[in-house]
Amino acid sequence: MEGYNYTIWIVLLPFLVFLVVGTGSLRIRPIVAGWIGTGSILITLALSLMCAWNYFGAGAPEGGWQTLIPYDMVWLRFNDTLQVHMGILLDPISVMMLVVISVVSSMVHIYSLGYMKGEAGFARYYAFLSLFSFSMYGLVLATNLFQIYFFWELVGISSYLLIGFYYDRHSAVAAAKKAFIVTRFADFGFMIGILLLSWYTGTFDFATLTSPDGAAIAKAASVSFMGASVLTWALVLIFIGGAGKSAMFPLHIWLPDAMEGPTPVSALIHAATMVVAGVYLVARLFPLYIFGDATALEVVAWTGAFTSLFAAIIALTQEDIKRVLAYSTMSQIGYMMLALGVSGSGGEEGLGYTASMFHLFTHAMFKALLFLGAGAVIHAVHSNLMDGMGGLRRYLPLTHASFLVACLAIAGIPPFAGFFSKDEILAAALHKDPVLFGTALLVAGLTALYMFRLYFRIFWGENKSYAHPPHEAPATMWVPLMILAALSALVGFIPFGEYVSPDRLPHASHLDMSIAITATAVSVLGILTAMWLYRKPSGVPARISGGLGALYRAAYRKFYIDEIYMGVTKNILFKGISSPVAWFDRHVVDGAMNGIGWVTARVSKEIKGLQSGHVQQYALGFMLGVLALVFVFIFWLKQ
Amino acid sequence: MNILLLLLIIPALTLAGLFLSRGKQQPRVVAALGMGLQFLAAFYLLFSYLRERAQGNAADMLFTSSYDWYTPLNISLDLGVDGVSVALILLTSIVILAGVLISWQMEDLPKEFFISLITLGTGVFGFFICIDLFSMFLFYELAVVPMYLLIGIWGSGPKEYAAMKLTLMLMAGSAFLLVGMLGLYFFSSGPADEHTFNIMEIAASGIPVEMQRIFFPLTFIGFGVLGALFPFHTWSPDGHSSAPTAVSMLGGYGCFRVAIFLMPQAAAELSWIFIILTGFSVIYGAFGAIRQTDLKYINAYSSVSHCGLVLFAILMLNKTAFNGAILQMISHGLMTALFFALIGMMYERTHTRIVQEMGGLLKVLPFISACYVIAGLASLGLPGLSGFVAELSIFVGAFENPDTFHRFWTILSVSAIVVTAVYILRVVGTMLMGPLKEASHASLAPASWYEKTGALLLVIPIAGIGLAPLWLSDMIQFSLAPIMRQLGF
């Protein structure tokens, strides 16, 4: 543990910046806030890279990569045995995530200096970015389930605050609210899962939970409820939490709307880091998923596969470039989930786990690049819609080049990053189930198609006449694009299997040539189709969508999932439960209370005449009473 | 002199000072000075308490003393505190001081207002430092009566109706309580085999189980009325306003200290009835809040939900949940006080409490709106704020009861976290965000120094407890030993 003490600053520094900039956001000069935020995140970048260098640099120790806990404190005690700790856990995946978060976050911080220039609330923006960075670091470094939940909610609220950054727009406010409530609903499952798991295992601690032969785990697995073991239930519930954050079907509806936030925010939170938290969560608890029965992992695999296909189809039809990218993100995260779901515990079997983390890593680079590139395009033409774009390669050469790199990377064309990670995912899927493999291959083709549809329609296609000639972004914006483009091109060559595997042992990565050739061929086919359809303006796309009729409309309207949700919340929750409750409370419960009051008042009004002050009346009453008692005594009590 | 007497003497002197004060300026200065002093005294008590504990004093109650009142019936004023009451005294001192600051510009009968407020405070402080049923009851009533005046005179809407309703319902609760307390007295046997009101003595000797079965429900309902127990919660939507929020903590504390502590067997036997009622309250209050349009009503229903959770936790009868219940009382006390303070500030400026009539206030009232968002986030249980710590402890504690009945109600209560998010974010989204709805709202006066101080006085502990809960929770847990002993653990 010695030598890793500085990692605490990776977490604390953004928090301090959040407090300082957040409380002073109205007084501080915007540019100062921007540089405080950017400077601090660059320091955490340096520290994260140093941490990765220290951790991985010396090669794997005997017996595989170790789990290090350089920092640990008791945060809350529930009872004599259960405690919540806050700490820092370093292992291959958390160190890998540190690199991902710090790189993307730094790029986004720098980019935003240009992109957000002149916006009202610039300081507030940087305060929220710092809050997010703090929460995300805390999440990946968590040592236990409660710590991860703690930061899980905090990334949720940072996301809420940043989606709603333009808070005077109704759409942004609604999107922010939706994102928070949908993920909150998923977190309800997560919470119950944590409670179940901790009750049966007696711990929240990852190190204990994931140790393969913990007697505690066997204890949890032996109790069954409705045909499945409690462990399976708990893991499925926890996965629901992860599915909410990672926008898996059917909890995905918030992600496309979340594009209402500023574009750099979408790059950071809704493409590279927060949305993969669900994948990270499953990876974190992976030994539990393996040692439980196969059901939980199957749920993960099929949810991932379905989402990746579902989202890819919708992505083909969208017109808003950020929404295309949002559905693409969903689809790629589905890929990662699929890879985790087909993985085994180690050796060759464990390829899926490695592939998933690898894809998470490469995807973060090229998807952040895509969003930042899209931001540069939006910055130039002041619109999100592809209809208003075309021929931009002449005006935005740097953006065009980096965007092309990112498209090639996501489409899986060698030697760009996506090719290597996608190849591993396909190999792992083929090993497990041909249907999953087929789905993944189809999605690979669709990905190439919709990405290059986007590419050709923005940068080629019809040459639009622009009111203001679009101009290339300032250096603060294109420098991050170049850095990310370089990373997207190169990170595929990292021998990921050496560092990340479920059994913690280094494995040599090798390409599966037959799969690589097949997948590349499918992707090239997708690209060529897109080129044929969109490179020059033509009527073909319209004819195709017209020919598909209802199917196209359904995909364009996102298969009406939003409408279904709206129906459920409006009619069932609001009209069906809330309104009756409110009415019941005011009229029945409170009515009963008022009724008691009314009866009391009424009775007292009726009988107050008895106390009239007329002596004759009292005497009469007295006499009648005596007579009654006499009768009672004579006729009743005699027996 | 007993340090606890100080907590009664300061408010008494403040009241005397208030009676002598005149005009607008004098009463508020006297009240602020008095309650500021009380605030310091509460911290002094905290540090003295922690010092005693650090020195190894493991007695159930610290700083105990007894002052004879009426010896033939063995009635006396018994003082004593443990970690739970110290925490609640601290909370009360913060809430009352904030209340004074927020009412700084009180135009309408300021002297009488501060007298009522501080009388109420005195009742609450007295309730928390007493460990005999007689004085507890006395102080309880002392706290209830000024509520009538506070709502009836300085309230809003149909205030006479609301005040009357609140008082009658609480008095009905008191009637139950009186019977329960007398029952406890008559079936108790002190050290010399005489009847006693002292709760530590009653706990030591115990009450016959068959009598517990009668008096437990009476006491629980009696205090429960104040803790917004369904279906006796309907005073709350009409009656809640900034002043009485501290009082609703009395209900939970009473249920904990009197009903459960003194009648553990009946509590274990009969808890299921109240688990149903309180578990229902949690979800019912949350759904009720969604449909409201008036800020006051939204927060009152939210209170029903949160107070329901306090009582629910108490009924789980284990250490984790008790700890959660106390934390929730503190958190809810701070949160509700903050909510009503902010609602008051907004009402003063916009003259409306209807959510839909406001919009975009974040731009014109940044400080007040930011505080409102923080209060809202605390209310929906965001980590890093006090509500999360409390709810977490409650849920973990509730889950320690492994049978299906407890599980069912626990999961139902947990589901309220989603519903809470819905109604909180609806308000934040409509009222604070969005474009400015009323042109006249563009030039609202920013928060003044006393409003800022009052709000920060509440925000800081909310965040403080949320970030570093360990000291508080350890202090409370240490003092749960006696009740756990009573329950046979």
A287-296, B308-317, B381-390: lowest mean pLDDT where?
A287-296
pLDDT exceeds cutoff 50 at A121: yes
**pLDDT 10s digits, A426-449:** 888 888 888 999 999 999 999 999
Q: Predicted confidence band at A221 (pLDDT cuts at 50, 70, 90)? A: low
Of A170, A577, A589, the CB nearest to B434: A170
What angle is formed at CA A25 by the lines to CA A20 and CA A28, rounded to 5 degrees? 85
pLDDT of residue B458: 93
Residues of B in contact with A188 (CB under 8 A): 414-415, 417-418
Structure tokens that stand for A626 in this block: 């005596």
Q: Predicted confidence band at A571 (pLDDT cuts at 50, 70, 90)? A: confident
Residues of A in contact with B465 (CB under 8 A): none
% of chain A surpassing 70 pLDDT: 97
pLDDT of residue B330: 92
- B91 vs A538, more confident: B91
pLDDT exceeds cutoff 80 at A492: yes
| A150/B435 touch (CB, cutoff 8 Å), yes or no | no
| B382/A74 touch (CB, cutoff 8 Å), yes or no | no
| B288/A191 touch (CB, cutoff 8 Å), yes or no | no
Alpha-carbon span A589 to B229, nearest angstrom = 12
**pLDDT 10s digits, A389-411:** 877 888 888 888 999 999 999 99
Residues of A in contact with B288 (CB under 8 A): 578, 581-582, 585
Q: Predicted confidence band at A30 (pLDDT cuts at 50, 70, 90)? A: confident
**pLDDT 10s digits, A334-355:** 999 999 988 887 777 888 888 8
What is the DSSP pairing of strand A83-90 with strand B75-81? unpaired
pLDDT exceeds cutoff 90 at A47: yes
Distances in whole angstroms, Cα of residue A108 to Cα of each of A136, A326, A352, A368, A513: 14, 17, 30, 8, 36
**pLDDT 10s digits, B202-241:** 888 888 888 888 899 999 999 988 888 888 888 877 766 5
Contact B175, B167 (CB under 8 A): no
| A76/B469 touch (CB, cutoff 8 Å), yes or no | yes
Long-range CB contacts for residues A376-380, cutoff 8 Å, separation at least 24 = A376/A472, A376/A473, A376/A477, A376/A478, A376/A481, A377/A321, A377/A403, A377/A458, A378/A263, A378/A321, A378/A322, A379/A115, A379/A473, A379/A477, A380/A470, A380/A471, A380/A472, A380/A473
- A95 vs A207, more confident: A95
Q: Which of residues 431-470 of B touch A (CB under 8 A)?
A: 432-436, 469-470
Alpha-carbon span B434 to B431, nearest angstrom = 8
- What residue of B is the nearest CA neighbor of A197? B399
pLDDT of residue A218: 55
> Measured between CB atoms, does A185 come within 8 Å of chain B?
yes
pLDDT of residue A546: 77
Three-class SS of residue A455? helix
Rounded to an integer, the average pLDDT of A301-327 is 90
How high is the ipTM of this complex?
Answer: 0.91
Residues of A in contact with B469 (CB under 8 A): 75-76
Average pLDDT, chain A: 86
Domain of residue B431, residue span: 3-486
pLDDT exceeds cutoff 60 at A625: yes
pLDDT of residue B45: 93
Contact B150, B117 (CB under 8 A): yes
Contact A493, A365 (CB under 8 A): no
Rounded to an integer, the average pLDDT of B170-194 is 87
**pLDDT 10s digits, B49-93:** 999 989 988 888 888 888 888 888 888 899 999 999 999 999 999
pLDDT exceeds cutoff 60 at A1: no
Of B288, B366, B436, the CB nearest to A585: B288
> Measured between CB atoms, does A531 come within 8 Å of chain B?
no
> Which of B238, B418, B431, B474 is the mutation pick for testing A, counting most A CBs within 10 A?
B418
| A76/B422 touch (CB, cutoff 8 Å), yes or no | no
Q: Predicted confidence band at B242 (pLDDT cuts at 50, 70, 90)? A: very low
How many domains are there within chain B? Answer: 1
pLDDT of residue A536: 79
Which residues have CB under 8 Å from B352's CB, separation 6+? B358
CA-based radius of gyration for chain A? 31
| A154/B165 touch (CB, cutoff 8 Å), yes or no | no
pLDDT exceeds cutoff 90 at B325: yes
Contact A484, A414 (CB under 8 A): no
- A360 vs B359, more confident: A360
pLDDT of residue B238: 74
Q: Which of residues 124-153 of B touch A (CB under 8 A)?
A: none
* First-last CA distance in chain A: 94
The DSSP annotation for A279-314 comes to: HHHHHHTHHHHHHS-HHHHHHHHHHHHHHHHHHHHH
| B366/A592 touch (CB, cutoff 8 Å), yes or no | no
Q: Predicted confidence band at A61 (pLDDT cuts at 50, 70, 90)? A: confident
